[in-house]
Amino acid sequence: MPEGDDRHPFLEGLSRHRGAPSTIMVIFGASGDLTDRKLIPALFNLALDNLLPGEFHLIGYGRKEIPDEEFRQMAGESIRNFSRRPMDEKPWGDVKRNLSYHAGAYDDPESFKSLAEKISEIEKASGRELQLVFYISTPPTVFEPIIENLGASGLANHLVKGKPGAKVIIEKPFGRDLDSARKLNAVLGRNFDEKQVYRIDHYLGKETVQNLLVARFANAIFEPIWNREYVESVQITVAESVGVGSRGGYYDHSGALRDMIQNHTMQLLSLIAMEPPVSLDPESIRDEKVKVLKAIQPLVLDRLEEADVIRARYTEGLMEGKKVPGYLQEKDIPADSTTETYAALRLLINNWRWKGVPFYMRSGKRLARRVSEIAIQFKRPPGILFSEGRKFDVAHNTLVIQVQPDEGMTLLTNSKVPGLQTRTQPVKMHFRYSATFGSNTPEAYERLILDAIVGDSTLFIRGDETESSWRLVTPILESWDSLGNHGMARYAAGSWGPLEAERLLWSNGHQWRQTGI
């Protein structure tokens, strides 16, 4: 690393990405929130680390008429407002020079024809064929017309040196149930080969999530005990303190199960539970993840008091001492809404490794704190020594993987309390990313955009993977649809969720962990 270079040490391992092919990236939904907050800042940080292709063109595509210069200014503002590192005009200048805007409708073949013309002009001026990366970051209602138009305009079949030279990155939500996900996969399949498709789940780009595979398979100590012989239960918590804010219109059609559980928490579950892949190539890893999803036992849904799922909605409460409204009082939420802002599930994975081990998952908005963690709770030691007669004296050993914030890993073990008596107390061994590696970790979108440009699909979701996960979640949605608000629990904003969520764990003698310890 040259002196004064503040590149993150992790990036050393990414040097292979320097071979990124010359690319034209088109962002659909260029004036949207995701482009503003995440995509442009991610591109800037890649430019800062010199990881973008030597020749890189960016075309923003959107319905609004925006002059090129204004779009360049908007991009500069995004960086100033949202980048993890401050604006540096020099590396950004190289990107800015090749940045333009194309106004067009998403369902209008003519707009795509003129996009194709623009692309071919860029190629002509460059004197070579360039890879095309289409990033669909629009509302889901226009995913299909965009994909069809990419096919019809010939852009999906763009060739570079006679080989497929177009890729499509597609944002969530990937469908709203099994049928719509299948339909979207079919539309993609008609216009692109699966190898060209990159379905985003930004949790997979998070450093700690990528570390799950390293923690499990680069350490010999965990794998022998990572099974039903030693593991008592697994808890996955993805808690948010934010409410729905200005996204009420979107959220009320989605809810916690679709917005977080079907994708983000299911991804965490499959990485935690999968078998070791035969290699690190994308297909081997994704094959193992799909097997986990397929092995999940169908859920009990019909008897509310025994169901494997519970849902709830936040009511008015206190967040950091300030009063905040309940979900039904938020902007754009109808008074008769049946949408849940919290969901918790109890799952069993019916395979050799996990048979009988409950996996608990919960996610919600307006919970006490923003925290995502995975806790592997191990069985207690037999109670013949330290816990005899005092059953709960010796705590479970627990391995906690903190996904965010305060990324790291903690192992809870039991220790003797100093003194003349023999008493035990749980103690913690901590590893913190920030303490070991510094705090300037790349954002998920940096890694994902770069991987798509380079052609590494490991951290993207395969078509059959989304369908497996929807297959599990769709019956829950159908059952909730038929119940309306019947069975919808409540929790005060700022709390840890509804009391009813405890019921899922009681029958096995478990309880939700207090997160962050």
Ranges within 169-188 binding ligand BG6 (CB under 6 A): 172
Beta-bridge partners for 286:
none
Respond yes or no on whether the N-terminal peptide bond of residue 86 is cis (omega within 30° of 0): no
d(CA 115, CA 108): 11
Please report, as a single letter, which amino acid is at residue 330. E
CB of 204 to ligand BG6, least distance (A): 11
Q: Which helix (H) or strand (E) holds 238?
A: strand 231-239
Closest CA to 369 of 259, 235, 497, 212: 497
Largest CA distance in the chain: 84
> Among the residues of 83-204, which ranges form H helices?
89-97, 109-126, 143-152, 178-191
Instruction: Indicate the residue among 171 and 308 with the shorter CB distance to ligand BG6.
Output: 171
**Among all residues, whose Cβ is closest to ligand BG6?**
259
Q: Which helix (H) or strand (E) holds 73?
A: helix 68-82
467 binds ligand BG6 (CB under 6 A): no
DSSP state of 296: B
Instruction: Indicate the residue among 253 and 423 with the shorter CB distance to ligand BG6.
Output: 253
Instruction: Indicate the residue among 18 and 253 with the shorter CB distance to ligand BG6.
Output: 253
CB of 248 to ligand BG6, least distance (A): 11
Mapped onto helix, strand or coil, the DSSP state of residue 403 is strand
CB of 259 to ligand BG6, least distance (A): 5
> Has 510 been annotated as catalytic?
no
Residue 346 vs residues 51, 232, 314, 516: alpha-carbon distances, Å: 42, 14, 21, 21
The size of the interface with ligand BG6 (CB under 6 A), counted in residues, is 3
Q: Which helix (H) or strand (E) holds 47?
A: helix 40-48
Residue 489 vs residues 303, 311, 313, 476, 502: alpha-carbon distances, Å: 15, 6, 6, 15, 12
Instruction: Indicate the residue among 199 and 396 with the shorter CB distance to ligand BG6.
Output: 199
Asked whether 343 and 257 are in contact (CB, 8 A), the reply is yes
CB of 97 to ligand BG6, least distance (A): 31
Instruction: Indicate the residue among 166 and 200 with the shorter CB distance to ligand BG6.
Output: 200
Q: Which residue from 259, 330, 446, 467 is in contact with ligand BG6, where contact means CB under 6 A? A: 259
Q: What contacts 274, CB < 8 A, 6 or more positions away?
A: 285, 288, 289, 291, 292
Asked whether 106 and 67 are in contact (CB, 8 A), the reply is no
Q: Binding string, 134-173, against ligand BG6, x = CB under 6 A?
A: --------------------------------------x-
240 binds ligand BG6 (CB under 6 A): yes
Tokens (6 digits) for 222:
């965990």
Instruction: Indicate the residue among 33 and 69 with the shorter CB distance to ligand BG6.
Output: 33
Asked whether 484 and 338 are in contact (CB, 8 A), the reply is yes
Ranges within 400-459 binding ligand BG6 (CB under 6 A): none
Q: Can you say whether the dihedral through the CA atoms of 477, 483, 485, 490 is positive or negative?
A: negative
Instruction: Indicate the residue among 172 and 199 with the shorter CB distance to ligand BG6.
Output: 172
Catalytic, out of 17, 202, 264, 396: 264
Mapped onto helix, strand or coil, the DSSP state of residue 385 is coil
Instruction: Indicate the residue among 72 and 172 with the shorter CB distance to ligand BG6.
Output: 172
Burial of residue 352 (number of CB atoms within 10 Å: 0-12, 13-18, 19+): exposed
373 binds ligand BG6 (CB under 6 A): no
d(CA 85, CA 79): 8
Give the residue numbers marked as catalytic: 264
**Residues near ligand BG6 (CB under 6 A):** 172, 240, 259
